[in-house]
Structure 1
């Protein structure tokens, strides 16, 4: 295996930052109210990564779908989904959002109770929001013409043993390469742009809007659309803590009702992989303001897909799980099927109606 490299060290103060975020978000919600799905006065603590795939959460908040269900939803920011696992397990968070990883499955194997309850970000054709980028000078010079030319080169990923690693493996396999036929550099997505710019990495799997920023700066080109190599990969999911899904099931249902209401809006606005559909202007404004980026940058970027009925691609999760197993990064066997709970999304669809009947895609 080639030597793993890192562009920059992570701050050891992240734990303190998380603690502050959670303290700001509050230490607990109101007790579960008794009236079925009557959620008036309920507080839900949700972890976010402040990324474009958090769009549905921002839409549900700003368009009043959470408050319409009687909920007060407080967001706590994290630099990765992996950092949410411990707070979800301890009950400090009710909801999490991010990409399943080997660390996620290992936490479950150690007894942390979590549930995957809905799609948050997947990549069907047209929605390849995490493309493979290659440094422009390598492409222009002809040094990299095909995927096979990446052999031995430095490829940036957000972290080790995540769904992104499985994406890269699928793309490399199409070029006759194994996952470890390239050098892996693990850094956050914004740092991918810097690494491509200064030559510290040769290629990267980079999510939006960082991918579009790299293109606009002229330092990289979109070399491969992941959807062409790994169709409909389940890259990010909505998570419920075990306590939230079981002990506060009515409130968890209200949260899902609002979340899928937002999903319908997002599906209409981003139909075909472009933020030009009905309601797109409002959604571009909401999301760009929430994550503090230029609205036009967000509009030009490739959006993630989020199934308007919340369906989770379990087959994709199993593919990634098998990749982790082959890489030897799983501590114990875990049932993927047992982790997925589609009941909340199914009940929300019964309330909202199927997506096709409400204008979703």
Structure 2
């Protein structure tokens, strides 16, 4: 009888313990995800972030992501420095370098890069300029070239084109128009003669007959590290785990993007699914039947594991110095934190 009582007590105690454990599991909240804001442009080249978000790669890394969209690179750099944005993916600009000199920003990885055999950024001219004889980049001397701001990637590309063709940057009339959309409008109407831009935009413009192609940027800047991944110096130096988790999710998104639209290893169905995903963010105001071909045909390589072409980044920095757009005293270490990705 005593034995039965002990067994009953033990069984009751174990049952109570199990119930307590179950109740604890229900009442103890899971660890909250780290909330981050990611800066982006509505370009196909920014797709890895969109893919990582849509496929849950950021969530897998314990990150709750909100996007903030920009129309040019320099405002994004300012937003990183002010803390309004945590991570950004865009071109190196004079503004970004100047903020790095002030200790506000660090480049931590690479994204879009020109690669032989893959259509890259295209040099464009208005139909009016083409009819006047501007049929190659060599004819851009004394012609106008649209840029967002002085010290932008467009400024860098125009200068490199001029250098290779044997004339000075000052021989091109640079027209700062602040926004990509404004440059498109000015080029179509003939208010500016020329521009260079990523293929998903360029190829769509070429279909209208108002704009003509005269060259490829890759012929002037081989292996150009077009865009980079960057963050605030504070995050880069004090939150390495956060940076690693962001780069891991971003890199998974890049792998999926490259497989579907650059290497074409996912077949037509995989490519179509990727285009549909990206369309939520790029040309979202157009039907997918119209936007899809531009998104697909404009895909460029995103560096594996966010590896960074430091050789080209150094060239960009040297150009900014030579043009007097940044201080001559800025070292590459001031701009780039090499702790996180492969450097080449």
- Tell me the TM-score normalized by structure 2: 0.81
Alignment equivalent of 1:97, drawn from 83, 89, 93: 89
Alignment equivalent of 2:233, drawn from 195, 220, 242: 242
Alpha-carbon distance between aligned partners in 2 of 1:98 and 1:227, rounded to the nearest angstrom: 18
Given that 1:260 and 1:345 are in contact with CA atoms closer than 8 Å, whether structure 2 keeps it comes out as no
Given that 1:106 and 1:330 are in contact with CA atoms closer than 8 Å, whether structure 2 keeps it comes out as yes
Alpha-carbon distance between aligned partners in 1 of 2:148 and 2:265, rounded to the nearest angstrom: 25
Q: Secondary structure at the match of 2:111?
A: strand
Q: Which residue of 2 aligns with 1:121?
A: 112
Alignment equivalent of 2:311, drawn from 309, 315, 319: 315
Specify whether residues 343 and 281 from structure 1 end up closer, same or farther in structure 2 by C-alpha distance, changes over 3 A only: farther
Over residues 80-116 of structure 1, what are the superposed CA-to-partner deviations in whole Å (9 max), with x where a residue is unaligned? 221133332233322122111111111122232x221
Over residues 274-305 of structure 1, what are the superposed CA-to-partner deviations in whole Å (9 max), with x where a residue is unaligned? 99778322221111211215432433542232
Given that 1:127 and 1:227 are in contact with CA atoms closer than 8 Å, whether structure 2 keeps it comes out as no
Given that 1:275 and 1:303 are in contact with CA atoms closer than 8 Å, whether structure 2 keeps it comes out as no
Range with greater deviation from structure 2 (294-303 or 235-244):
294-303
Q: Which residue of 1 aligns with 2:341?
A: 345
- Is 2:158 the partner of 1:168? yes
Specify whether residues 303 and 146 from structure 1 end up closer, same or farther in structure 2 by C-alpha distance, changes over 3 A only: same
Cα deviation for residue 58 of structure 1 reads 0.1
Specify whether residues 104 and 191 from structure 1 end up closer, same or farther in structure 2 by C-alpha distance, changes over 3 A only: same
Q: Secondary structure at the match of 1:118?
A: strand
Kindly report the root-mean-square deviation, in angstroms, between the aligned alpha carbons of the 2 structures.
2.5
Q: Secondary structure at the match of 1:344?
A: coil
- Is 2:227 the partner of 1:231? no
Q: Secondary structure at the match of 1:231?
A: coil
Cα deviation for residue 132 of structure 1 reads 0.8
- Is 2:266 the partner of 1:282? no
Alpha-carbon distance between aligned partners in 1 of 2:31 and 2:341, rounded to the nearest angstrom: 17
Over residues 182-221 of structure 1, what are the superposed CA-to-partner deviations in whole Å (9 max), with x where a residue is unaligned? 1111222222332222110111122343312320111112
Given that 1:66 and 1:255 are in contact with CA atoms closer than 8 Å, whether structure 2 keeps it comes out as yes
Given that 2:108 and 2:236 are in contact with CA atoms closer than 8 Å, whether structure 1 keeps it comes out as no
Given that 1:311 and 1:342 are in contact with CA atoms closer than 8 Å, whether structure 2 keeps it comes out as no
Which sections of structure 1, spanning at least 5 residues, go unmatched?
A: 1-37, 347-361
Given that 1:109 and 1:332 are in contact with CA atoms closer than 8 Å, whether structure 2 keeps it comes out as no
Choose between structure 1 and 2: higher helix proportion. 2
Rg (Cα) greater in structure: 2
Over residues 218-243 of structure 1, what are the superposed CA-to-partner deviations in whole Å (9 max), with x where a residue is unaligned? 11122111112111111111112122
Given that 1:270 and 1:277 are in contact with CA atoms closer than 8 Å, whether structure 2 keeps it comes out as no
Alpha-carbon distance between aligned partners in 2 of 1:172 and 1:338, rounded to the nearest angstrom: 28
Q: Which residue of 1 aligns with 2:261?
A: 270
Alpha-carbon distance between aligned partners in 2 of 1:99 and 1:92, rounded to the nearest angstrom: 18
Cα deviation for residue 153 of structure 1 reads 1.0
Q: Which residue of 1 aligns with 2:14?
A: none
Alignment equivalent of 1:327, drawn from 323, 327, 339: 323
Which sections of structure 2, spanning at least 5 residues, go unmatched?
A: 1-29
Specify whether residues 197 and 99 from structure 1 end up closer, same or farther in structure 2 by C-alpha distance, changes over 3 A only: same
Given that 1:81 and 1:96 are in contact with CA atoms closer than 8 Å, whether structure 2 keeps it comes out as no
- Tell me the TM-score normalized by structure 1: 0.77
